[in-house]
Chain A
Amino acid sequence: MSILRLVTKELLLRRWSALLAVSALGATVAAALFFFLLARSNEGETRILQRDMGLNILILPPGTSLDAYWAQGLAPGSMPVEFLLELEDQGVANRLVPMIKRRHNWQGREVLLTGISGEIFKQGKTMKPVFGRVVEPGSLVLGDEIARLLSLEEGASVELLGRTFGISRVLAPVGDEQDVQVFLDLGDAQSLLDLDGRITEIEALECHCSEEVADPLAALRVELDPLMPGAVIVRREALADARRDQRQLAGRFLQSGFPVIAGLCALLVGALCMLNVRERREEIGVLRALGKSSGQVAALFLGRAAFLGLLGGATGVLLGGFLASDLGRVLFETRAGAVNLELDLVLVALFVTPAFAAVASLIPVALAVIQDPVRVLGETS
């Protein structure tokens, strides 16, 4: 009689027990998967939310006095735009936003003229732009407060420094310096302010925030100084540290929490499988007494455990994936926080669960088959 026939007959008779075993295995796999998916999505969501807090590195022209910078909100000097090209090949700062900032009295109001471009990414990477601002040449984008004070609206034409611009957009109020800024294309600003080929500052995003770096500012300087001799590098500590700490916390939660959850689930799966085999020791004794080899007996019990493990793994993937996805939609708002159940994760669950169930069953089977059948059957007198 084939092993498959024996497994099938046993499962058919004890179908409710088998169903309970599959449910228990499925719930265990689902719990582990649920935790992993949510913790990973939480990490992604945290990364995006912390990134969106703002750029945390400021690079100023050589010789800039920081007291003057903080007093005026801009660097009096300038630096060559070629510095940006130098920054393409480093690994500590990304999302580089070059700017020109100058104060200007415009229609009787003090405004902060800001020539700006979109982001430039390090090492030629292409990413979804978040920072910077693309302003079409010949147009202006106004902060809410300055537009209100000067009674300017979208679509209107205005003169600035002897040149006519169209107002392409009035920004919503944000409660900071942006409300009194006048944004224009970086090229237009260079031309209007006689700063051809120059910029006054670069803002960027620190790249080391997910790693432990003892002195982040020193690390930045070590890498950037040779590329931009004399440039003043400022790390906005509170912003950068908060971003780093929060990202590391989310990472640690996943890295430390998942092994604990997975270990507990493995323990439960192992205990379930071992318990099942221990309850069927008599059958092992009978089969051994009838002369079945230890390999045949092991195949019978391990085959059953692996089959139930596969069903449990599949159930767990469906259940855990569905629950994590459903809750993820409520918890996370960004695309990085979306719960994704990739094929490789499914395959791991479908492989690991039956394999682990079989290995866990192997221990009591091995202990039973090495004993004399009569001892297993309890027939000794």
Chain B
Amino acid sequence: MSVFQVDCAGMHYDLRGQKIIALAPSSLSAQQEEFIVVRGKSGAGKTTLLSILGGMLRPTEGRVHLGSVELTALGPAARAKLRQTSIGFVFQSMHLLPYLDLLDNTRLAGGSEARARELLEQLGLGDRIHHRPAELSAGERQRGAVARALVHGPALVLADEPTGNLDPESAALVLEAFQSFRTNGGCLMMATHSQEPIAESRTVYLGPKGLHSADER
């Protein structure tokens, strides 16, 4: 069974009488241990696609399944519960809580303290676990957000530009953590502007006509 299945999911809204297409109807599915990289121009709808897959936004058309559950048929409370157990999300703007230190921010998503410490060590933040976001660099905050997405052992991790603020060395640590997650049975989808190739990943492109594979470019 696929980890997720997107069937012609699209998103549009009216802005002062003008129809804005946030995501052209798109279809996609992914299996366990799959790493999907979504590339596309700014405004193509990468964040919207990740948000729909994460159950944080309801598409205006199409359907999304997470495992056997139709995500688009669930109400806000059921989607929130599903996020807590099955989905990890790395926001483009990190969104760490300013009053919690890195360890508490990571544990906010659930999981054990030992697992949180282990992930923070793996991401090179072992000596910063008791520092608050304001005391960290943008790159450190970004890695902290990655740890928070992985800590509760979700089936699917959605990452929006997780390496955008990182130096090559830190980016490598993040990708290493993602690959470790994948090889342990997880499924991962990452949106990025970067054209850098990512090992053992499948790249899809998002444009005005929706998702298409690299071959269709």
Residues of A within 8 A of B (CB): 1, 6, 9-10, 12-14, 282-283, 285-294, 369-370, 372-375, 377, 379-381
Contacts and interface: CB of A to CB of B under 8 A. Distances in A.
A286 B149 CA distance: 12
Contacts, number: 85
- Mostly, the A contact residues are helix
A236 to B, nearest CB: 70
B101 to A, nearest CB: 9
A280 to B, nearest CB: 10
A374 B56 contact: yes
Interface stretch (B38-46, B168-176, B178-186): B38-46
Interface stretch (B25-33, B81-89, B117-125, B197-205): B81-89
B5 to A, nearest CB: 21
Contact of B104 (A9, A291, A370): A9
B22 A379 contact: no
Contacts of A374: 47, 51, 56-57
B89 A289 contact: yes
Nearest to A5: B104
Given A9-B100, A375-B57, A290 B91 contact: no
Contacts of A285: 95
B153 to A, nearest CB: 13
Contacts of B148: 290
Contact of B46 (A287, A370, A381): A381
B92 interface: yes
Given A289-B54, A290-B109, A375-B57, A381 B43 contact: yes
A14 B57 contact: no
18 contacts: A6-B97, A9-B104, A10-B99, A285-B95, A287-B108, A290-B109, A291-B81, A291-B82, A291-B83, A293-B80, A294-B76, A294-B77, A294-B80, A374-B47, A375-B57, A379-B91, A380-B22, A381-B47
A372 B56 CA distance: 5
B46 to A, nearest CB: 7
